[in-house]
Amino acid sequence: MKKTTSNAGPPITAAEDRFSKFGKDFHEEWYQKIIQTFHYDPLKDVQATNLLHSLLRSKSMAPTHTISLLHGKPAIIYGAGPSLEDQLSKLVESTQVIRKYVHVAADGAARPLLKLGVQPQLVVTDLDGLEKQDLLQLSPSETLLAIHAHGDNIGALRDTIPKLPQKILGTTQSESTSRVHNVGGFTDGDRAFILTALAGASNITLCGMDFGKRIGNYSKTRTSPDSVGIKRQKLRFGKDIIEWSLPYFDTRVATLTSNARALSVPYISSVES
């Protein structure tokens, strides 16, 4: 029997193919560049992916679950850049904006949203900018959680996943498994963008995604001077990956950051309420 979704999106089989194809294209185009630039061990990525696969035995969900959340709807993606707090304080003044848009948080950007009483409907994280107590504030009934596995967060995966009550979309930058999916993306910000666009959001507004030299207060829970340079380099990759991915999608994209470094999407001063 052919699998189908509701009228909110395309047939599941077609959607699965779209997610899978994009992930393969991303892996082919970017993975070697990433591991060579940052000197990552691909075997550790595989180890992390296999661990997450095991931990998600009874609580995994497929990338296509994002379709019912996002397809045909406007979305705001929150990055943890230095402009986030100013932009967010303006957005939350409008209850219509809060109700109208799907709110997608990249990692630590979920923290100021939660402080302001806004439950993000999708959080994309590698557990770097969020502590367990932050994740436990996310409503299992309101928030879809996408957790990324890579060689540097094996301990965090082992410590955190068993304590979370909700089902989880597992992601990887390595080869996919039946429970952990390479949907594309390297940083949490560009992965959040890709997931939102693949799910068919009608338009995407980027908030707090600066891609500049300054690191935002919510970017990591622990930042050492040595890691700042690496973080800046990762942001450059994130920007380049978003740029590379734009031709794949029909979604309209704009940014609320007037000086978003060399990102070739239109700047807007506010979102439609």
The stretch 128-142 carries a mean pLDDT of 92
What is the Cα–Cα distance from 129 to 127, expressed in whole angstroms? Answer: 6
Question: Quick one: what percent of the chain has pLDDT higher than 70?
Answer: 92
Please, which pLDDT band fits residue 245 given cuts at 50, 70 and 90? very high
Please, which pLDDT band fits residue 156 given cuts at 50, 70 and 90? very high
Q: What is the pLDDT of residue 65?
A: 93
Identify the CA nearest to 107 among candidates 145, 56, 66, 75: 145
What is the Cα–Cα distance from 124 to 58, expressed in whole angstroms? Answer: 20
Q: Enumerate the β-bridge partners of residue 149.
A: 172
Please, which pLDDT band fits residue 264 given cuts at 50, 70 and 90? confident
SS3 labels along the chain: CCCCCCCCCCCHHHHHHHHHHHHHHHHHHHHHHHHHHHCCCHHHHHHHHHHHHHHCCCCECCCCHHHHHHCCCEEEEECCCCCHHHHHHHHCCCHHHHHHCEEEEEHHHHHHHHHCCCCCCEEEECCCCCCHHHHHCCCCCCCEEEEEECCCCHHHHHHHHHHCCCCEEEEECCCCCCCEECCCCCCHHHHHHHHHHHCCCCEEEEECCCCCCCCCCCCCCCCCHHHHHHHHHHHHHHHHHHHHHHHHCCCEEEECCCCCCCCCCCECCCCCC
What is the Cα–Cα distance from 248 to 207, expressed in whole angstroms? Answer: 21
Domains of the chain in sequence order: 12-255 (3.90.1480)
The stretch 43-61 carries a mean pLDDT of 97
Sign for the pseudo-dihedral over CA of 101, 120, 66, 150: positive
| Mean pLDDT across the chain | 91
Identity of the amino acid at 164 = L
Query: pLDDT tens digits, residue range 78-110?
Result: 999 999 999 999 999 999 999 999 999 999 999
Q: What is the pTM of this model?
A: 0.92
What is the Cα–Cα distance from 185 to 199, expressed in whole angstroms? Answer: 14
Please, which pLDDT band fits residue 242 given cuts at 50, 70 and 90? very high
* Residue 3 confidence (pLDDT) above 50: no
Please, which pLDDT band fits residue 212 given cuts at 50, 70 and 90? confident
What is the Cα–Cα distance from 209 to 238, expressed in whole angstroms? Answer: 10
The stretch 113-135 carries a mean pLDDT of 94
* Residue 223 confidence (pLDDT) above 90: no
Q: What is the pLDDT of residue 7?
A: 43
Angle, in degrees to the nearest 10, between helices 225-245 and 188-198: 20
Q: Tokens standing for 212?
A: 């500049």
